[in-house]
Structure 1
Amino acid sequence: MRLGPTAAPVVELDDRAPIGRRVQGRYRIIGKLGVGAFGAVCAAEDTATGHRVAIRLLPRGLARAPQVARTIVRLGQSIVEASTSHPGLVRVLAFGQTEHGRPFVAMERVKGRRLSEILSEGKPLAVRAVLRLALDLGGSVETLHSMGLVHGALRPCNVMVLEDGRVKLMDVELACLRDSESMKALVAAEPPAEYLAPEQIRQAPVTDKADVYAFAAILYEMLCGVPPFHAATREAILQKHLTEAPVPMRRRRAVPVSVESAVALALDKQPEVRPFMPDFLNHLWSEAHRPAPRWKRTAVIVCGAALAVSVALLMIWGPLVLRSRASRSLEQATQPPAIKETPASEPSPARETNGSASARPSRDPAFTVQVGAFGARERAVALQRELTRTGAEAGVLQAEVGGRTIHRVRVGRFASHAEAADAARRLATSGYATLVVRAGD
């Protein structure tokens, strides 16, 4: 898949990213941002728009792996579309190939302070600030899930806190790519152990429940100052993920009981026990909007200014007052009905239909496996037909997400999460990577 003009000299870029060279004639390299298992990331200028962007040059071996290249082409457009659906996602602009066939990704460049840097002091953050940040970050993750993508690498170093307090989730361009079997054969990655779900450690197929686990681990660390599992060696941390329960949060600091319970459930060893992201966020939303007891409200009135200053100093960038439209929509969608007052002008929660049929009045408890989500219906239908030819029971469902129409490709109807996960494993062995187990759809 090629993008844009190709008038520039045909020069293959190496991981040194020479300054001034161009990728597909459009993106001029102006600096290097980093290098890792999934290639080099460079600062670049989009000569068509004049905007500063980031370019990820994926590993060289991909140019010699046609099956992986086909996977990237198939998944790339879904990732581009998904990244525009929530302001908390780093926007992926385009997937393409250099003149020598090396895949690359062009994406929005963001500047700020990584959450890992903020947490490096080992101090817990203010509960209210954590809940607001978690709702914003969780909204980004749930948007990926609703589009049929699994991030697969949620960790503090992939969360950027901008100067105005907004949060951006990075590495979106690698969603579902890093855990594909063909990619694993080419890339020897050793991700941080603190945020890996047990199924990732066991190298089992990864679903959206791995993101829920990592999200809970980040939330635990923000509230307690330390990850749920830590030890002197990587191997010891991995073993704790598999066999031990984390220290209860209440032993480290005072946190709301409902938040502690939600985090503990999301850190369960078994994926099917963990909540889906919308349910997790609903717990957090309810706690974030719970009225404080009278004595606490009085204390806030007396000491509010001092508290605001302390949070500002702690977070450097100021209080995390996250005002993204997607977070407000999430709050409205998850607000308990007894106290919900939604103005007529406010957007309604996302609803899903089957073709042109009306929204379903209630959720079916059955589970399905989502194999992909596309803006163009014809691409979804093509994938549905491909799956049907393999004997799978596949269908296309239409949904409205963030004001955009998407078409989700679903396989089967299973009575339990475990049965759906088994089906996802079988699909993964057939080369499908965009797998999300969903309930009631």
Structure 2
Amino acid sequence: MVNDNEDMAKIGLAALESLKGLAERWACIDTRLALSSQFPYSEFRLEKVQKLPKAVNILKEDRQAFGLLVGKAASPEEVHSHPLTSLPLALATPDRDLRQTSKSSLRNYLMEESSSIEYTPPDQSIWLVDGMAAVRTLPPQQTWRKYGEELLKFCLPPSSSKPLEVGIIFDSYGTATTKELTQIRRAGGTPGRRVHIKNADQSIPTGKDWNSFLTIGENKSELIKFLASYFKSSKLEIPLIVTHESETFRITASGTEILPNCNHHEADTRIVYHASIAKDPVVIRATDTDILVLLCYAYSVCNPEDNWMMKVDDRYVSVRKVVEHFGDDVCKVLPAYHSITGCDTTSFPYGVGKIKPLKKMRQKGKVHLLAELGTSVHSVQKMEGPRSFMQTCMYSGTDKETFVETRIRMFNKKQVKSSVGILPDGSSADEHIKRSVLQALIW
């Protein structure tokens, strides 16, 4: 987990420069395809089907262009050393988006493979709740006051478990973040309107307006501010910790205590921070794969005396059992593994999945290949290990092959020739690794 803003700025600039270089290379490739005398387009007609969506046309044209270059190039090595098409289709969709898939398969595998699932909550523990996940789960009420009341009930653990303390941990929201833009796209591409909470008895947006409300960072930030204020005035039987932006409050029957500030923007890492400083057993109420990955990493590093449990629906996952089963060496690279195989901010390489690379990494003894990914700003310059991991664990490469040889062999085995389901070219793989380094470093 990173608090050094200067280092984050450096890695952010490096990532932007990488993306800029990638865009320039794609433009160069497009020009080469259109103007190259070696591969004149006048001899070939790339089929365009105007009635199909633009993405389908792009994919169709890219595949034909790829086949054209393969047929005319001087050697397979020359072809497969470059992206060739305008998009690295193993990593990007024809709409120029990162490839996405379900990441929960990794969470479920970690839980089930380690036999770490229990069905009764532990007694006398500190409970930490992913606040915004709770907000998204609880439907809107008639007024903001009623919503605050119901959310508090929703977040409190069963009294039979004798909780020692409850923490409701929220994200911090800026403007025009990557996460916010993603949420806007999921809501249909149109951002919601700004809603100001003027008083506790004001009516709440409902239906689609509620979903639209939650796509705007400023709306969520104002909602969290209201909830923190409401909780301070509530009658509580156990201490409650609540966060708002960088502030952290501990609310008890006798008053409110201001705790040290925290500059973590994501609730994921903030929850892990609160777990790491706890002096008692901890229960984390969350379902996100990212949080389980980070908990396993932090537990293997901190080695706390007490167990951590993650409540996923009606199941309680013992983080200690997960770490004991997979080992400290695997758990310490889980953030790197999660980022390079695909998460919310990195691409899911086509057809790779979240489970097979983990099995291969353990079976082949290749955990060390990810040991440095994301550990420092300088790890962005160390490509050899992550490249080898992509080649031999994410794809079917062997230690005896070069990167490009694996790509050629995979291409030759395909009946329908395209670059979609094969190892990306080296340059595109490097850009994917750099993006993975940035995400792992933030975690």
TM-score by shorter chain over 0.5? no
Q: Give the structure-2-normalised TM-score.
A: 0.30
Structure with a larger share of its residues in helix: 2
Over alpha carbons, which structure has the higher Rg?
2
Which one has more relative contact order, counting CA pairs under 8 Å at least 6 apart? Answer: 2
User: Higher strand proportion, which one?
Assistant: 1
